[in-house]
Amino acid sequence: MKRYEPPADWSIQAYKFALDPSDAQVLGLRRNTGAARFAYNHMLRRISAVQAQRAAEASYGVPEADLTPWQGWSLPDLRRTWNEIKQWVAPWWAACSKEAFNTGLANLSAALGNWHAWRTGTRKGRRMGWPRPKRKHARRSARFTTGAIRVDPGYRHVVLPRLGRIRTHESTRKLARRVQAGTAQILSATVSETAGRWCCSFQVAVQRTLGRPTHAPEAGRVVGVDAGVKHLAVLSTGELVPNPKPFNAALQKLGKAQRRAAQRIGPYDPKARRKRTTSNRWQRAQATVTRLHATVATVRADSWHQLTTRLAQQFDTVVAEDLHVAGMLRNRTLARSLTDAAPATLRRHLGCKTRWYSSILHVADRWYPSSKTCSACKTVKLKLSLAERTYHCTTCGLSLDRDVNAARNLADLVRHVDLELPGDATTGRGAYGRPVRPAPAGRAAGRETSRPAHPVNAGRQRTAADRESHFTH
């Protein structure tokens, strides 16, 4: 069957609904998610065994042509092998949807592909190790791409393959009306369990009408956003967005729940070095810990969604920083607070929502000295420690909160640069630009200052074409 390809002008969006399944439907959900885990683990063990067997045969001098046939890890190869062996390794396979097994095989293919890409140097970033087997009590999920996948016209049920009609906790009216109007097409559905709550997430191709909200201010407004820890974000307008700090608020309850779970009989005994049957009291205590973590994640996500939606609707241009959060987490003093604030979420959310509301997102260079630069006279300080929460300029005498000063510098970064965005971006419809780092006034010895020019380019005047080449859209 030919895969559905949405039109080029449609965007991909997710609609997530909490499910209210019956006891029989919960068993069906667990059966299908367990099938995905089983297929993943079995094929991983098979690939590992084949790899070890080939290495042993090669050590004995067996020719390459006589080695055990290699098991490919592309999705078609995994599917072909699974269909050949499933009647022996999983005689119960007919009780589950074929999409459940395909979920595990697709995840395994992606994991092995990432490992191989890192080994060959084609994938950058942190080290990708050999995939590990999925645990039985880990997060359960399964993805459906074919079959009966739809939203019930009554706005209170969803229909999934082999699971049937499942009631939802909330209305599905937003998605159902789009599907009925022909402006949305459901591509897939993913069921998952988090803290005992089952959810269904639809991947939908949406035809979105680009335009500014009716309540949006006048055009041409620019805002700089400085993400932080003390405040969730500081705007160039002077607004300080409070940080709910959900993990810090739940820390006392979380510590008490974890101590209670540690006193129960869990799945692993450190002294016996073996697995054992878990007690019901441990499972209840562990469920409490999971619910607290889920609440923290939900509060954090809600605070970022509210802020980024408001910024994309009320401003024409939003300027954010390219933060190296992984490097910032190496500071053990700020690691917990940074994880609780999740500052990298700002740019990810704005990247989508600025396209939805016809605004423009610009990402400042990672080494642009927004905190060290004076927003009035543009003088750059040599050093500025984290303890200095107020910026004092020795040149013009400006005294301002350092986060507000950084946000104003981010906003000025776009106001003083002549942007020529190609194509549809000239109308401000969701352009994604990365301005070049301007040379600071004064030579500073900090890491956030501009780097010296290359000897080949030394003394050459910058043209409009050079400025345009530094933008990535």
Distances 308 to 354, 396, 435 between C-alpha atoms, Å: 9, 34, 20
Q: Could you tell me the pLDDT band of residue 214, with boundaries at 50, 70 and 90?
A: low
Q: Does residue 225 carry a pLDDT above 70?
A: yes
Q: How many domains does the chain have?
A: 3
**Residue 135 is assigned to a structural domain of this protein:** no
**Residue 129 is assigned to a structural domain of this protein:** no
Q: Give yes or no: residues 155 and 283 share one domain.
A: no
Please give the pLDDT value at position 220: 63
Q: Give the model confidence (pLDDT) of 112-123 as tens digits.
A: 999 999 999 898
**Across-strand partners of 168?**
19
Helix H, strand E, coil C: the string for the chain is CCCCCCCCCCEEEEEEEEECCCHHHHHHHHHHHHHHHHHHHHHHHHHHHHHHHHHHHHHCCCCHHHCCCCCCCCHHHHHHHHHHHHHHHCCCHHHCCHHHHHHHHHHHHHHHHHHHHHHHCCCCCCCCCCCCCCCCCCCEEEEECCCCCEECCCCCEEEECCCEEEEECCCCHHHHHHHHHCCEEEEEEEEEEECCEEEEEEEEEECCCCCCCCCCCCCCCEEEEEECCCEEEEECCCCEEECCCHHHHCHHHHHHHHHHHHCCCCCEECCCCEECCCCHHHHHHHHHHHHHHHHHHHHHHHHHHHHHHHHHHHCCEEEEECCCHHHHCCCCCCHHHHHHHCCCHHHHHHHHHHHHCCCEEEEECCCCCCCCECCCCCEECCCCCCCCCEEECCCCCCEEEHHHHHHHHHHHHHHCCCCCCCHHHHHCCCCEECCCCCCCECCCCCCCCCCCCCCCCCCCCCCHHHHHHCCCC
Q: Give yes or no: residues 274 and 422 share one domain.
A: yes
**Across-strand partners of 242?**
231
Q: Give yes or no: residues 413 and 340 share one domain.
A: yes
Q: Does residue 422 carry a pLDDT above 60?
A: no
Q: What's the rounded Cα separation, in Å, for the pair 199 and 142?
A: 11
Q: Give yes or no: residues 196 and 240 share one domain.
A: no
Q: Give yes or no: residues 35 and 162 share one domain.
A: no
Q: Give yes or no: residues 46 and 184 share one domain.
A: no
Q: What's the rounded Cα separation, in Å, for the pair 345 and 299?
A: 13
Q: Which residues contact 7 (CB under 8 A, 6 or more apart)?
A: 205, 207
Give the active site residues: 226, 321, 403
Please give the pLDDT value at position 217: 52
**Residue 360 is assigned to a structural domain of this protein:** yes
Angle between helices 75-89 and 98-120 (to 10 degrees): 130
Please give the pLDDT value at position 381: 87
Q: Give the model confidence (pLDDT) of 166-212 as tens digits.
A: 999 999 999 999 999 999 999 999 999 988 899 999 999 998 776 66
Q: Give the model confidence (pLDDT) of 355-367 as tens digits.
A: 888 889 999 988 8
Q: Could you tell me the pLDDT band of residue 470, with boundaries at 50, 70 and 90?
A: very low
**Residue 228 is assigned to a structural domain of this protein:** yes
Type of residue at 469: S
**The two structure tokens encoding residue 91:** 């005689």
Please give the pLDDT value at position 451: 41
Q: pTM (2 decimals)?
A: 0.78
**Residue 134 is assigned to a structural domain of this protein:** no
Q: Give yes or no: residues 60 and 165 share one domain.
A: no
Q: Could you tell me the pLDDT band of residue 276, with boundaries at 50, 70 and 90?
A: low
Q: Give the model confidence (pLDDT) of 78-112 as tens digits.
A: 999 999 999 999 999 999 999 999 999 999 999 99
Share of the chain above pLDDT 70, in %: 82
Q: Give yes or no: residues 19 and 34 share one domain.
A: no
- Which residue range(s) make up the domain with 320? 222-469
